[in-house]
Amino acid sequence: MKTTLTALITALAASTFAQQYFVQSPGGNNTIEVYTDGGLAYQIRHNNVMVTTPSPISITIDGKKYGETAMVADKKERSVDRILKPVVKEKRAEIRDRYNELELTFKNGYGVIFRAFDNGVAYRLFTELDGEVLVEAEEIVYNFTGDHPASVPVSDGFFSHYERGYTNLTISALGDIMACLPSMVTLEPNLKIARETEVKVAITEADLDSYPGFYLVKGAEKNQLVSTFPRYPKTTYQPTDRDIKVGERENFIARTAGTRAFPWRLMVITDEDRELINNTLVYQLGPEQAIENTDWIKPGKVAWDWYNMNNIEGVDFEAGINTETYKFYIDFASQYGLEYIILDEGWYDIKTNDLLDPVDAVDVQELIRYGKKKNVGIILWVTWTALEENADTAYEAFAEWGAKGIKVDFMQRDDQPMVDFYSRCAAEAAKYKLLVDFHGSYKPAGLRRAYPNVITREGVRGLENNKWEGMFSNPEYCLEMPFLRMLAGPVDYTPGAMANAQKENYNAVWNRPMSLGTRAHQFAMYVVYESPLQMLADAPSSYLKEPEVMEFLAPVPSVWDETVVLDAKYSDYVVIARRNGDTWYVGAMTDWTPRDLDVDFSFLPKGKYTIDIWQDGANADKRATDYKKVSTKIKAGEKMNIHLAPGGGWAAIIRK
């Protein structure tokens, strides 16, 4: 009786939007049902289970709400099945881009495109209006089928580092919370409506261009999430040497061309947690490549200074922000084949913002020359404000000096002018063959496909958060992040801590920081976390004391030809195998719960292999630095039981 009643209610709800169109994913997993009578709306089914009920779509431009009426003038359908070959292989060398598409053009100058993938659905609005327009609002609505659990990074406003932890609650409990993206809703098993397993629905966006990013808040209706946007800045002010905040805002969210496509609104939908990590839809929905020559774009690993505060030992000079210290970093990088070092904050005077006048203690051009002799490139940290002030000269000067990239920091906004800065920076850096690593940044939203020199970005509660009180970057967070934040794109978490602690032994020490979790937990991050520019965060002298550590960190690559997620459960554990060339790497991580897991080597081609393992030591539950290296033989198809300590990890290199 209840099932019949539910079906009747659903049918009555749908009758408000009687004119229907459909598009189904190639494998039949996901179906988008589009309604045009009574306004534009859509609903989603996943394997015949309702994910959302009819949810309206609209955009308000120059006082007119497009979507309130939806008189179809034209309908187009197409199917696409192609192979994408990313310039930078974050997850795999080839991505299958396979979807069915429905495009509806309406009579009053706007339209919508829907794409149905087997692992998600997306839509975007487009307009065909004259001249420049003001976008006053966009209505993005998710009418879920129940008061489901949600995992959201909570934001306290539109000025943010985007380094929030995940809060787990139900949709109704969101209250006044504003959630960053990606966020996730979990549809629990419900046999009454034939939902036998959990369905994870991750919400984010793609092809964000000259438009603000959106956030989620609780809607007025039951079980409803809706969008909110940072409005266009009217005034700004600078309270510190690096922050530019918005004072007053306009009554619109974007000033833009009247003829354009708007960002994709994406829902990743899966029955299996592992598929959140496998997903590449943000990249697939990104803009086409905007630069032709990409031969100069070189992924790699980086000896990074700021986490360890240039705090090296065993040298006969005073360590700090000076030429001698950075030459030591270059020597270390060269010894172990690391491609880059970063000169982080301090190489120029942040009070003057003169990027062409390094401080006296740092001879940048000498360091670049020295690094070139040793095959180590230099990446320069800058604030975005300094880069904007010096835009006419800085990019060109950095290229003339021979720098290989820039690390751009402290944007902390995603209103339209700031999103425009990201695109402008990416294009100008590409012009001068400079890599870009955005810090203090919003989540990836497809820019790296247009500009592959945007090689990684932060927007994550990275390792540096353990420098201050609060235990922010802990193993619980570290087992949530790869399922959600990493779904959007590369993540500059900056692993590699050599001082490691269990909860009871942890202290926040600014200039000699420690990580939460074990040493092997850190090793595993180099396989689990995707970042084509991957940091070694600790001091070179700490690594030099333990050559066994570098036997793993030196050869582990930062890009991958193939990825196989062997086992994964959101917020609990993950086991991933990745291939680069003929060599396989495996990483396993757990939260604070110790675990025994089976690693199934069926992913290996037939044959015998040598496996080198870096695993939690027998006492890692008490002394987190304790690890053990083991070498043995395995065959394809075998299984190996592994033990992970609390906050533990396991990493391996497999060679024929």
Per-residue pLDDT tens digits for 165-180? 999 999 999 999 999 9
Between strands 608-616 and 627-635, the pairing is antiparallel
H helices of 432-461, in order, are: 447-450
Nearest Cα residue to 404 out of 427, 383, 425, 375: 375
What does the pLDDT read at residue 108? 94
The pLDDT value recorded for residue 2 is: 37
Instruction: Examine the fold and report which residue of 284, 310, 345 is the final residue of a domain before the chain moves on.
Output: 284
Q: Where are the beta strands (DSSP E) in 30-118?
A: 30-35, 41-46, 49-61, 64-66, 72-84, 95-106, 110-117
Residue 54 resides in a domain:
yes
For 449, the token pair is 């496909």
Domain of 207 in residue numbering reads as 2-284
CATH of the domain at 179: 2.70.98.10
* Number of structural domains in the chain: 2
Neighbour-count burial for 570-603, b at 16+ CB within 10 Å, e otherwise:
bbbbbbbbbbbeebbbbbbbbbbeebebebbbeb
Arithmetic mean of pLDDT, 267-275: 98
pLDDT value, residue 193: 65
The side-by-side arrangement of strands in the sheet containing 608-616 is 562-569, 573-580, 583-590, 649-655, 608-616, 627-635
Sign of CA dihedral 626, 632, 635, 640: negative
Active site residue 305: no
Q: Which of 589, 621, 591 is nearest to 500 (CA)?
A: 621
pLDDT of residue 189: 81
pLDDT of residue 19: 82
For the chain, the distance separating the N- and C-terminal CA atoms, rounded to the nearest angstrom, is: 61
Residue 432 within any structural domain of the chain: no
Q: What are the pLDDT digits (tens) for 201-218? A: 999 999 999 999 999 999
Pairing of strands 215-218, 224-228: antiparallel
pLDDT tens-digit readout, 391-443: 999 999 999 999 999 999 999 999 999 999 999 999 999 999 999 999 999 99
Residue 196 main-chain phi, psi, to 5 deg:
-85, -25
What are residue 505's phi and psi, to 5 degrees? Answer: -110, 0
**Is residue 339 situated within a structural domain?**
no
Does some domain include residue 446? no
Asked which of 250, 267, 284 is the last residue of a domain, the reply is 284
- Tell me what pLDDT residue 194 has: 63
How confident is the model at residue 17, as a pLDDT? 44
**Which CATH number goes with the domain that contains 614?**
2.60.40.1180
Residue 60: which pLDDT band, with cuts at 50, 70 and 90?
very high
Residue 68 one-letter amino acid = E
Determine the 3-state secondary structure of 373 from DSSP: helix
Note whether residue 365 is domain-resident: no
Domain end, chosen from 284, 315, 342, is at 284
Residue that is written with structure tokens 């774009």 in the block: 297
- Distance between CA 157 and CA 179 in Å, rounded? 9
| Known catalytic membership, residue 562 | no
Secondary structure (H, E, C), 477-546: HHCCCCCCHHHHCCCCCCCCCCCEECHHHCCCCCCCCCEEECHHHHHHHHHHCCCCEEEECCCHHHHHCC
The pLDDT value recorded for residue 190 is: 78
What pLDDT does residue 14 have? 43
Q: What does the pLDDT read at residue 3?
A: 38
State the pTM of this model.
Answer: 0.96
Mean pLDDT lowest for which of 8-12, 19-23, 96-100? 8-12
Residue 507, in any domain of the structure: no
Does 600 reside within a domain?
yes
The pLDDT of residue 5 is: 34
The per-residue pLDDT for range 310-364, each reduced to its tens digit, is: 999 999 999 999 999 999 999 999 999 999 999 999 999 999 999 999 999 999 9
- List, for residues 112-159, the tens digit of each pLDDT value: 999 999 999 999 999 999 999 999 999 999 999 999 999 999 998 999
pLDDT of residue 470: 87
Q: Find, among 81, 83, 93, the residue nearest to 563 by Cα.
A: 93
Does pLDDT of 259 surpass 60? Answer: yes
Residues 280/283/286/292 CA torsion (nearest 10 deg): -150
| pLDDT confidence of residue 286 | 98
pLDDT band at 7 (very low <50, low <70, confident <90, very high): very low
Per the prediction, the chain carries an average pLDDT of: 96
In tens, the pLDDT along 622-639 reads 999 999 999 999 999 999
Q: Identify the pLDDT of residue 192.
A: 64
Query: What residue type is 593 in one-letter code?
Result: T
Q: DSSP secondary structure string, 244-299? A: -EE-SB-S-SEEEEEEEEPPEEEEEEESSTHHHHH--HHHHTSPPP--S--TT---
Domain assignment present for 160:
yes
The one catalytic residue in 33, 275, 305, 464 is 464
Q: How confident is the model at residue 191 (pLDDT cuts 50, 70, 90)?
A: low
If pLDDT is split at 50, 70 and 90, which confidence band does 18 have? Answer: low
Which candidate in 205, 409, 414, 591 is catalytic?
409
> Residues 519-524: what's their mean pLDDT?
99
